[in-house]
Structure 1
Amino acid sequence: MSARRPFRWHIVVFLAPAVLIYTAIMILPLFGTLNLSLMAREGGERVFVGLRNFGVLFGDPRWSASFWNALGNNAWFFLVHMLVQNPIGVALAALLSSPRLRMAAFYRTAIFIPTILSFVVVGFVWKLILSPIWGIAPGMLDAVGLRWLFAPWLGREETALTTLALISVWQFVGIPMMLIYAALLSIPDEVIEAAEMDGITGWSQFWKIKLPLILPAIGIISVLTFVGNFNAFDLIYVSQGALAGPNGATDILGTFLYRTFFGFQLQLGDPHMGATIATAMFGIILVGVCLYLFAIQTRLRRYQF
């Protein structure tokens, strides 16, 4: 009879601090938010109302109009990042991974630096740059003969959200660039040498050999982009305020949640409806991540292997 293996207490000791901290700042607040979304205050008392708050959020015109507007803006904010930030990140990584490029380390650092800047700094600086009164953007365009292109982009309903999305792209394009760059460096040298022996070089080598091998990394970046953009709040709040003007054109789920939960100006805070919005955001993110894990990631693994 084989001896019973002793329990490895050192594993518990090492994992316990991380598990306790994660539970305290993530798991317990999550269940607290879910519980709060199922309650309402009636007659000065908190009572259980089930899913009634969700019915109000999705069905009551006073709430649903703002919610669907914020959700649509969030979807566009995410789409701009997917169509602009991630392709640019892949292209920059491909360029910077070339052994023939000089000063590649300097370029990588310069592109990555904005990601470590505070949202407050980025939002305030870009608001100053794009200001039609004291900003430097009109003068810079005028210097190259393109003054006619300038417009108060942050003040127009049709351009404000896209402008903020592009500012966010400028700030965070370094993250997908570095992740894809690391994935490109992990490709075995034997694969590259075999491709060169077959006459596949340059961009043809990237499209036919390297890109299929880094598809899992691109998938992970897409998920991170989705989660990050549907949790966005700081840049919109700093640049456009809690009302997310002009006329709610830049209102996303984060700013809608903030106004609802804490209140703003004449709007009183409602923690229960705020928790309902937060729960809806959690559900949207959960569905998106599960869709990737069980649909897209499975196909990527089959394609890779």
Structure 2
Amino acid sequence: MTAEAAPKRPFRWHIVVFLAPAVLVYTAIMIVPLFGTLQLALFRNAPGGQTFVGLDNFRTLFGDANWSRGFWNALWNNVWFFIIHMLVQNPVGILLAALLSSPKLRFSAFYRTAIFIPTILSFVIVGFAWKLILSPIWGVAPNLLDLVGLKSLFTPWLGKEEYALTALSLISVWQFVGIPMMLIYAALLSIPDEVIEAAECDGVTGMAQFWKIKLPLILPSIGIISILTFVANFNAFDLIYSAQGALAGPNYSTDILGTFLYRAFFGFQLQVGDRNMGAAIATMMFLIILAGVCLYLFLIQTRLRRYQF
């Protein structure tokens, strides 16, 4: 007597039907352009059309002084842009989330909304508005500083090479600090009440409770925020372009990889666009972001899993 074969599970076609539109759209606007960019980076214009040159475009990017100087300047500015966000935006977001999660704070919903509103504003609006605010001619910043007796501290921050990038980074922090605040706020609310009650029974309250109990439990969320900040900063373009233009002045002091890519690919003023070199720059941006994400996934996230519930 043979055992009856287990009934074969039917294939769930409804999963394919529901996923197909999203997969097709993602493939059309993300995967295909990505491989098209990688292909362009390996070719170069020739009299007979595009010709395969392998890694020559990357050798030009790193070896030719006209290209390498701009690339390394843009890369360093991008790194500094990211550092400002990591050292200012994320800690401030964590602090605001800790304050707003306190049950004793009144009007916390109003404060959360007010802090989050700038994140929904257009980059063009934010860049143009802050350029007007900080203008030494018609801006309100000099008058506001004069009201508190600090007008001597005012300087045209967007017009000086040593201050422009930091000023734009802080403007970006002001716009997007609401995102880490809301993510950390949600992580704090997800901590079980039993954990908090046990800490209070042990006499751990106030700031000690946050540092010793809550902070270790929200480390996975902080890790996610850090990698999202990294990806967003190395894809940045809009704020710099709207505030300083494609030349990212003064004297390329605010030039980042996004604006450098824009000028290389499309050309600007006297610079002729070169889509192959632009694709090489875009490929380097992709590799930098990929390296950062892989570093987080394989070295950091695995260590943070111990803190997850």
Q: TM-score range by the shorter chain?
A: over 0.9
2:191 is equivalent to residue 190 of structure 1: no
Q: Tell me which of 87, 93, 103 is aligned to 2:91.
A: 87
Confirm whether residue 111 of structure 1 aligns to residue 96 of structure 2. Answer: no
The amino acid across from 1:149 in the alignment is L
Distance in 2 (CA, whole Å) between partners of 1:52 and 1:7 is 49
Candidates 157, 170, 173, aligned match of 1:169: 173
Does structure 1 retain, via aligned residues, the 8 Å contact 2:219–2:307?
A: no
* Structure 1 residue aligned with 2:23: 19
CA distance in 1, matches of 2:183, 2:48: 52
Structure-1 residue corresponding to 2:49: 45
Measured after TM superposition, the shift of residue 3 of structure 1 is 1.1
Find the aligned partners of 2:63 and 2:304 in 1 and give their Cα distance: 38
**Which deviations, in whole Å up to 9, do the C-alpha atoms of 1:104-159 show, x marking residues without a partner?**
00000000000000000000000000000000000000011000000000000000
TM-score where L is the length of structure 1: 0.99
Q: How does 1:1-305 map to 2 (within 5 A)?
A: 1-302=5-306, 304=308
Note the alpha carbon deviations across 1:31-80, whole angstroms, 9 max, x for none.
Answer: 00000100000114100001110111011111000000000000000000
Moved more, 50-59 or 295-304: 295-304
Distance 1:44 1:103 in 2: 68
AA in 1 matched with 2:253: A
* 3-state SS of 2:162 partner: coil
**How many Å separate the matches in 2 of 1:245 and 1:269?**
19
RMSD: 0.8
One-letter amino acid of the structure 1 residue matched with residue 153 of structure 2? L
**Alpha-carbon distance between aligned partners in 2 of 1:3 and 1:102, rounded to the nearest angstrom:** 60
- What is the rounded CA distance, in whole Å, between the counterparts of 2:90 and 2:182 in structure 1? 11
Cα distance in 2 for residues equivalent to 1:163 and 1:85: 13
Count of residue pairs brought into register by the alignment: 305
> Any conservation in 2 of the 1:260–1:271 contact (CA below 8 Å)?
yes
Structure 2: give runs of 5+ residues left out of the alignment. Answer: none
Distance 1:172 1:201 in 2: 30
Equivalent position amino acid for 2:269 in 1: Q
Using the TM superposition, give the Cα deviation of residue 260 of structure 1 relative to its aligned residue in structure 2, in angstroms.
Answer: 0.4
Give the residue type in structure 2 aligned to 1:233: F
What is the letter of the counterpart of residue 136 of structure 1?
V
> Any idea what SS the aligned residue of 1:159 has?
helix
